[in-house]
Amino acid sequence: MNGLNNAVNLHPFRGWRYHPGIIRDFSRVISPPYDVMTDQEAREIQRSRPYHFSKVIRPQAPRSEKYRLAADLLRTWQEEHIMIRDPEPALYFLSQEF
């Protein structure tokens, strides 16, 4: 074995991100993992921050509606240019601390 079979294949893609001209302070919209917040914490954050990403990963809706609501919200943010798609494919580095 020459080691090439173990190589990782990375493929650039066009990511979605908050529009920096609209969202100037990203700390106001990034969200901890959905299972870290309590329901009460999620409600409080979402009431005061209209574009907080917890609205997508932990929508305040009946269980049967959560995924549809999340998809509708993302689509709305895309249509309103709150979320924009990068023009060119890229590789993204992500580091998170909570």
- At 52-85, the pLDDT tens digits run 999 999 999 999 999 999 999 999 999 999 999 9
Which residue matches tokens 């049967």? 64
For residue range 11-56, list pLDDT tens digits in order.
999 999 999 999 999 999 999 888 889 989 999 999 999 999 999 9
Q: How confident is the model at residue 92, as a pLDDT?
A: 94
DSSP letter for 13, please: B
No. of H helices and E strands in the chain? 3, 2
Question: Would you say residue 98 has pLDDT above 60?
Answer: yes
- Domain spans of the chain, in order of start: 23-85
Which residue matches tokens 């609205």? 55
Which structure tokens are listed for 22? 């609209």
